[in-house]
Chains A and B, each alone.
Chain A
Amino acid sequence: MEKQRKKKLSLIIKDNWQLYVLILPAVIYFIVFNYLPMYGIQIAFRDYKAVSGIQGSPWVGLKHFQNFFDAYYFKRLLSNTLLLNLYSLLCSFPIPLILAILLNQIKNPARKKFIQTSIYVPYFISTVVLAGMLYIFLSPTNGIFNTLRQTLGMKPVDFMSSASAFRPIYIISGIWQSAGWGTILYIASLAGVDTSLYEAAEIDGASILQKIRYIDIPSLLPVAGMVFIMDCGKLLSSNTDKALVLQTPGNIPTSDIIGVYVYNVGLGSGQFSYTAAIGIFINIINFVLILSVNKLSKKVSNVSMF
């Protein structure tokens, strides 16, 4: 029995050694940059003191986690973060797909190239500038939206300080920022589709919509599915920079997300271990989420990450 298994192992290596060589650089990278530092996870379970080092700091177990759960706003932080990301995901996921598919149908190559080159540039507008522009557009006194409202006889609304307006503003501006960027991957996928498929469909008299439904969408499905599953692994993370610039005292009930809380705590005093514990909590939940969605996806379709 032993001999058989041993033989199998050496055969495995012999047959596949090239694959191991190919994957080696990535493995080395992750060991050096991710696994070597991983002992630092302990910080969340200790009262970290810089001078004592990580090992020398006293062990406190789950104290920091408990403090976080006891924070007055814990429930709200959790729900704000989750809802914000969930709505964002559901609203913004289909858009790059639609854009890529429609872009693919443009016949004029010059126009197509122009659109392709400019569609993702909003991605480079820094959050600070985006927020600046939003404040100007949405200003109750001379912002363009409110001027329109006034001409229609409605009272101006201070959108930036409205708790109920926060999520739509966040999500819609997010779509503006990153939908174009998201099309890059899908355009590349569509470019790889065998043109003979389109020719065959043309001969069969398929309309454009039919071509989209039977060729484009199925070829995008694996990539799109993977993107969706990966995004589910970020449902409890926070785009802290963006939330901070968009947060005003008026919209705190919805804009107070975990990342902002961590930022404010960090300003007060060191609180290293506390913020580390919060980080681990977020990551555990994210991890569980992505595993579940992956499993579900495996069952429902063939798309999965692992």
Chain B
Amino acid sequence: MKKKFLSGFMAVMVAGFVLAGCGSGGNTETTKGAGTTAAAEESDNFNAEGFPIVKEPITLKVVLGIRNQDSLMPPNDMPLVQELEKKTGIHIEWDVIKAADWSTKINLMFSSGEYPDIFITPNTGMNVEEYGVSQGILLPVDELTEKYMPTYTERIKAEDSDPTLSLVASDGKKYSIGYLVGQNINADQHFFINQEWLDNLGLPMPQTFDELTDTLRAFKTGDPNGNGQPDEIPLCITIDSGNSCVRNMLPMFGVPAGGKWLYIDEDKQIQFAPTQQGFRDCLTWLHMLYQEGVLDPEVLSQDDNTVNVKKTEGNIGFTVEWRLMAMGWDEGITKTHTLYMPTAPEGVEPQIARYLEVAGNGAFVTSSNQHIPESMRWLDNLLETSAMFSMYYGEEGKAWEYDAENGKVNTLITDTSQLRDCLDCNALFFAPTKYISETFNMSPQRIQKTEYCQRYDAAGVIQKYANRYLDMAPLSSEQREELSLIQTDINNAVKESIPQFIAEGVTDKSWDAYIKRFDNMKVDKLVSTYQEGIEQLDID
């Protein structure tokens, strides 16, 4: 009896599997093949020129991805958004999603077949290969931008090189409107040294690698902050958190590693950073400093939060960062530090990672959008200069204004930590290099950063080809999936090896064992796939 009951039960279960599966599952509104042509029909309601964009008001659904730390008021409460609605005649239903919840919600959206008309995603990810090229949920926008987005197109044409090349997918088409906050920079991270301490100890700016090492040691023993305590932290970094991490120290040893632990060398060859001699040298050096107490003893466990506090206090001798001003360290390292020209050990050239100012994914239109021309014109309007700056900074007159003398934009707002009445840096913002230097009076911190970049460039220490090209390589969805599994294993291996090397040092034996690990992780596959990928790009 019992057995019969059980087997009967199992049979019902299996049947349930099969039957239920036939019913639901998947979406109900697929528009197959909609991804191929952009033959968006213009309805009678649509105004091809002028405002409002529509004769009778329509509603569009927009999903906006924002950063975790942003707190915005509901967009439809924002005065700017309300003005926008009056001007364009288009009402927006906003769905604001934080980066932390982004992938969960997007997956649910795509699985249930209910997507919005427009995605705005400057700060959250979107798998263009998968959802655009393969599945046709996101539409190609090349023809649409030509036809309906004059502001956007003009701005691109005015540049010396096309900043939207980075948006081209593996099928040669672009699927998004670009997001680019031009800052006139070409380097990612810079090194900074505590000038005040140098002065206090009467030391010159170190000109060679060995001088740097000795200077750091002097910081430790010489009591440069003059308080009689040996509490100085000569070198303050983290293992892998934030900008001041071990990876960003590698450029000083000739290894400009990017986030994938790969970089492009001068001969356009992809190199795997973790097994380079420079990597070994860097860790040997860090181990030595760790033993001497010159490297922050908390390096093995501290994260960016902790290091941030230290930078605010300013008790640091040397670090690597994005910039100094307007980072919250005004009483700390912003006051005391100055740019350091990187010096490498004998026989090596320092290679700072190059930063390429190209567009990221700003906005998408989906296959369920019934008002494509209207949407494109609406997006174009967002890029109109005063609308764009208002969405990013806040109200004209309060958060920014036109300079009386040169007519460019000046920012007035300083504190952006409270509840915001604009979209902040989650707004659609497209300001390539030339455009921004013509329209925007760069704030002091940006001018300073540009200066750093120019100095490094003049000294010839920036790598020739930016690692960004790796992201632009036309890989298919299947390739990306395969590589991401390899990447996870590699990241773990490197992440745990670095603290081991720093704490215990590098011996021939441990180094060989370390390298061997990567042989089993299909690193060759990673490198060769990307190599083929970038060869299809024109990166000169």
Contact = CB atoms under 8 A, between A and B. Distances in A.
A44 to B, nearest CB: 13
A161 B306 CA distance: 15
Contact of A272 (B13, B107, B136): B107
A67 interface: yes
B20 A36 contact: yes
A49 B488 contact: no
A50 B520 contact: no
Contacts of B480: 269
Contacts of A139: 298
B491 interface: yes
Contacts of B135: 49-52
Nearest to A252: B496
A78 to B, nearest CB: 15
Contacts of A252: 492, 495-496
A160 interface: yes
Given A53-B27, A55-B22, A270-B130, A256 B492 contact: yes
Contacts of B13: 35, 38
A25 interface: no
Contacts of A265: 484-485, 488
A141 B22 CA distance: 61
Contacts of A52: 26, 135
A71 B17 contact: no
Contacts of A39: 16-18, 20-21, 25
A270 B127 contact: yes
Nearest to B245: A249
Contacts of A73: 489, 492
Interface in B475-529: 480-481, 484-485, 487-489, 491-493, 495-496, 498-500, 503, 517, 520-521
Contact of B301 (A67, A161, A261): A161
A13 to B, nearest CB: 15
B231 to A, nearest CB: 9
A279 interface: no
B103 A54 contact: no
B17 A249 contact: no
Given A51-B30, A270-B107, A250 B499 contact: yes
Nearest to B487: A268
B301 A248 contact: yes
B297 interface: yes
Nearest to A70: B485
B104 to A, nearest CB: 9
Contact of B17 (A38, A135, A158, A266): A38
Q: Which of B13, B16, B127, B298 has the most CB of A within 10 A?
A: B298
Interface string A218-243: 00000000000000000000000000
A157 to B, nearest CB: 10
B300 to A, nearest CB: 4
Contacts of A161: 300-301, 499
Contacts of A140: 297-298, 301
Contact of B297 (A55, A141, A160, A253): A141
A151 interface: no
B137 interface: yes
Main secondary structure of the interface of A (DSSP, over half): helix
Interface string A138-168: 0111000000000000001010110000000
Contacts of B461: none
B138 to A, nearest CB: 11
A271 interface: yes
B448 interface: no
A94 interface: no
Most buried by A among B17, B239, B484: B484
B487 A249 contact: no
A61 interface: no
Interface in B115-150: 127, 130-131, 134-137
B51 interface: no
B494 to A, nearest CB: 9
Contacts of B30: 51
B240 interface: yes
Contacts of B435: none
Contact of A158 (B27, B107, B297): B297
Interface string B23-51: 00111001000000000000000000000
Contacts of A267: 103
A56 B28 CA distance: 13
A145 B460 CA distance: 48
Contacts of A274: 485
A16 B292 CA distance: 79
Interface in A239-264: 248-250, 252-253, 256, 261, 264
A42 interface: yes
B111 interface: yes
A156 B21 CA distance: 59
Contacts of A20: none
A264 B301 CA distance: 19
A268 B484 contact: yes
A41 B20 CA distance: 12
A35 B13 CA distance: 8
B268 to A, nearest CB: 26
Nearest to A138: B301
A52 B499 CA distance: 44
A51 B492 contact: no
A35 B9 CA distance: 12
Given A161-B300, A269-B481, A49 B134 contact: yes
A248 B306 CA distance: 13
Nearest to A52: B26
Nearest to A5: B1
Contacts of B503: 250
Contacts of B492: 73, 252, 256, 264
The interface centre, meaning the residue of A39, A51, A72, A135 with most chain B CB atoms within 10 A of its CB, is: A51
Contacts of B487: 268
Interface string B441-453: 0000000000000
20 contacts: A39-B18, A39-B20, A50-B135, A53-B27, A140-B297, A141-B297, A158-B297, A158-B300, A248-B303, A249-B240, A249-B498, A249-B499, A252-B492, A256-B492, A256-B496, A264-B488, A264-B492, A267-B103, A269-B484, A270-B481
| Among all A-B residue pairs, the 8 with the closest Cβ atoms | A53-B26, A268-B484, A252-B496, A50-B110, A161-B300, A161-B301, A54-B25, A39-B21
